[in-house]
Structure 1
Amino acid sequence: MELIDGAIVIGYFTFVLFAALAFKRFTTDSSGFIRGGGAMMWWMAGATAFMTQFSAWTFTGAAAKAYEDGLTVLFIFWGNALGFLVAARYFAARYRKMRVETAMEAIKVRFGRVSEQVYTWLSFPLTIMSAAIWLNGLALFTAAVFNIDLVVTIVGVGLLVTFIAASGGSWTVSATNVIQLILLVAITMSVGAFALLEVGGTVTLIESYPTDSYMGSNMSYWQVFWLWVVMMILKQTMNTNNALSCYRFLVTTNEREAKKRLCLLASYLFWGLSCGLFLHG
C-alpha cells in the first residue's frame, strides 16, 4: 500500500469518527438512540437504507459477474428496487402507524410475546454470523488491494462500527452513511465516466457486450434463467419487506416521509447500481 493510500484510509476513518461525535448530541433518550426519535429527515433515512444494500461483494463479485454475463446479476438489485417500491406503496405507512420503537415490538404487537422472544433470540446468532461474513469479505478485498492484514481489517473496522453505533445510535449511523453515500456516488461517477471514455463511448460498450445472449454464458436452458430471475426478484422483495427490515420506516417523522425515502431509494438502486456495476465491470 502506498503512502497516499494509507493517508486516505486514515483520513476517511477520522472524518467518519468526527461526524459520529458531532451527531451524538441528537441522541437524548432510548427512542433517539434506536430510531432517531422518529424525527429523521427522509433523505438521511434514505441514505442509510441505501448503504445497507452494499458490501465489498457489490463492487467485486457482482461487478465481476456483470463483466462476465452482463444483465444477469442486476436482477438482484432490481429486486431490491421493486421491494422498496412495494414498501412505499403499501407497507411503509402501515408500519409507521404502529408507533413502536423497534421491529421486535412490532412482532410482539402482531404475533404476541412468544413470537417476539423467539425471533429476538434467533436474530442474535444470525446477525452476528452475517456481520462476520461481511467483515471477512471486506478484509479479503482490502488484503488483495492494499495488502492490509486480514486481522487488522476485521478488528479495526469491527471496533470502528461498534463505536459509531454505540456512541449515538441511529443518528450517528445515519450521519456516517450520508458521508459514505456522497463519497460512493462521487467515486462511482468519476470512475464510471473514465471507464466509459476508455472503452470508446456508450455505443462501443454495447457492441462489446460480453456474451451473445442477455442470459449470460453457459446457459443451456432459458427456462432456468427466467425461473432464477423470478425467484430472485421475489426473494429480494420479501427481504426488503419483512418485519425485521421494516425498522427503517420508524425513523422518519411521518408516513409521507417514509414513502418519499423509499421512492428515492428505489430510484437509486435501479439507476445507480445498474450504471455503476456495468461501468465497474
Structure 2
Amino acid sequence: MSNIDIVVILVFTLLVFICGMSFSKAGKNMKSYFAAGGALPWWMSGLSLFMSFFSAGTFVVWGSIAYSSGWVAVTIQWTMCIAGVIIGFFIAPKWQKTKALTAAEFITDRLGKSTQKAYTYIFLVISIFTTGAFLYPVAKIVEVSTGIPITTSIIVLGVLILVYTAVGGLWAVIVTDVLQFIVLTAAVLIVVPLSFDKIGGVDNFISQAPEQFFEFTNSEYSWVFMIAFGLYNLFFIAGNWAYVQRYTSVATPKDAKKSRLAIWCFVHDKPINLDVTTNDLPCFKS
C-alpha cells in the first residue's frame, strides 16, 4: 500500500468522524438522540439500512463466494431483498406505530421492568461478541494493508465510532452512513466499468466464465440453505433494534414502509422518485 493510499484512508476516516461530530447538538432530548426527533427522511433511513448490511466481512465473505461459486452469491443476497420486502410491507409500519425510542422502552411497556433488565444484561454480553465480530474484519484488513497491529486498529476504530455516536446520537450515525453510501456508489460506478474493460467487455466475461458460474445454487449453497438464510434475515432484520430504530425514527408508518422498501430499489438499481407515495415506488410498479 502506497503513501497515497494511506493518506486517502486517513482523510476518509477523519471526514466520517467530523461529519458525525458535527451533530453534537442534535441530541438535545431523548427523542432527538434516539429517534432523530421522529422526523428522519425515509430515504435517509433507507440508505442507512442499506449501509448497515455492509462490513469488511461483506467484501471478504460474499466476494469469496462470488469468486468461487459465481451467481450463487447473488442468490444469497436476493434472500435479504425478499426479507426486506416482507418487512417493509408488514412489519416496519407496525414498529413505527409503537413510537418506542429504545428496545428497553418497548420491552418495559410490553413485558415489565424485570424482563427489560434481563434483556439488557443478555444484550450487553452478546454485544461484546457481535461488536468484536464487526470490528475484527476491518482491523484485519487494516493490519494486512498497512502493518498497523490489529489490537491498535480495533481500539482506535472502536473509540472513533463510540465518540461520534455518543455525541451525535442517531443523526450522526445516519449521516455517516449516507456519506459512506456516496463513496461506495462512486467506487462501484468507477470500478465496475474498468473491470469489464480489463477483461474485454461483458460478452468476453460471459464466454470465459467457468461452467455453472450462472447457476442459482450449488451443492454447498442449496435451495434449503437459501430458504433458511432468508428466514434468518427475516427475523433478524425485523427484530434487531439497530434496524428497528430506522423504522421508528421516521415520521409516519408509510415512511417506515418506504425506508425498508428502498433497499430493494437500491439493490436492483431502480431509480426512486422522492415525490411519490409508497404504492407508487417505481420498483413496485407492474
**In structure 1, what is the equivalent of residue 6 of structure 2?**
6
Kindly state the Cα deviation for residue 168 of structure 1 after the two structures are TM-superposed.
0.9
2:42 and 2:217 mapped to 1: Cα distance? 38
**In structure 2, what is the equivalent of residue 94 of structure 1?**
94
Alignment-mate amino acid for residue 237 of structure 2: T
Distance 1:3 1:63, change over 3 A: same
Deviations for 1:177-201, whole angstroms, at most 9, x for unmatched residues?
1111100111122111111111222
Aligned CA-pair RMSD: 2.1
Deviations for 1:26-80, whole angstroms, at most 9, x for unmatched residues?
2211111111111111122122111110110111221111011012233332222
**In structure 1, what is the equivalent of residue 234 of structure 2?**
237
Alignment-mate amino acid for residue 128 of structure 2: I
* C-alpha contact 2:45 2:259 (8 A) present in aligned 1: yes
Number of residues of Structure 1 aligned to a counterpart in Structure 2: 268
Quick check: 236-245 or 78-87, which moved more? 236-245
**In structure 2, what is the equivalent of residue 261 of structure 1?**
259
Kindly state the Cα deviation for residue 246 of structure 1 after the two structures are TM-superposed.
1.9
Deviations for 1:153-174, whole angstroms, at most 9, x for unmatched residues?
1111111100111111101111
**1:247 is aligned to 2:245:** yes
- TM-score, normalization by structure 1: 0.88
**In structure 1, what is the equivalent of residue 166 of structure 2?**
166
User: Mind listing any 5+ residue stretches in structure 2 that lack a counterpart?
Assistant: 271-286
Say which SS state the counterpart of residue 212 (structure 1) adopts: coil
Task: State, as a whole percentage, how many aligned pairs show the same letter.
Answer: 24
- TM-score, normalization by structure 2: 0.86
Deviations for 1:68-127, whole angstroms, at most 9, x for unmatched residues?
101223333222211221121111111111111112222333344343222222111111
Distance 1:208 1:104, change over 3 A: farther
User: Mind listing any 5+ residue stretches in structure 1 that lack a counterpart?
Assistant: 273-281
Distance 1:212 1:179, change over 3 A: same
**In structure 2, what is the equivalent of residue 49 of structure 1?**
49
Poorly superposed stretches of 4+, deviation over 6 Å = none
Kindly state the Cα deviation for residue 145 of structure 1 after the two structures are TM-superposed.
2.6
Kindly state the Cα deviation for residue 230 of structure 1 after the two structures are TM-superposed.
1.2
2:264 and 2:116 mapped to 1: Cα distance? 29
* Correspondence list, 1:1-281, <5 A: 1-212=1-212, 214=215, 219=219, 225-242=222-239, 244=241, 245-271=243-269
Distance 1:19 1:54, change over 3 A: same
**In structure 1, what is the equivalent of residue 283 of structure 2?**
none
* C-alpha contact 1:93 1:256 (8 A) present in aligned 2: yes
